[in-house]
Amino acid sequence: MLPMLNYNIDIAVKGATLNKEKLYNTLIPLPPFRTTKIADILFTVDDQLEEYQGKKEKLETLKKDLCKNC
């Protein structure tokens, strides 16, 4: 944890109030780069799955149309 975050938590625990101003001044650590990189990969995979699903639906429609004419 960041020192500023620890400091505010310690004050709040000791009975001091944690108001809006203190919350705005509290530093909140961001997820590490690795976590965001994993999320980017998952979004890319999800986009590809949607694309393949669309292609699959088109092929199924084409198959049904071709089978009607058999």
Enumerate the domain spans of the chain.
1-30, 33-70
Q: What pLDDT is recorded for position 15?
A: 56
Q: What pLDDT is recorded for position 55?
A: 96
b or e along 9-41 (b: 16 or more beta carbons within 10 Å of the residue's beta carbon)?
eeeeeeeeeeeeeeeeeeeeeeeeeeeeeeeee
Cα dihedral sign, 53-58-64-70: negative
| Cα atoms in the 13 Å half-sphere on the side-chain side of 13 | 6
Q: What pLDDT is recorded for position 30?
A: 74
Q: What pLDDT is recorded for position 46?
A: 96
pLDDT tens across the length of the chain (70 residues): 444 455 555 555 555 666 777 777 778 787 777 778 888 999 999 999 999 999 999 999 999 999 887 6
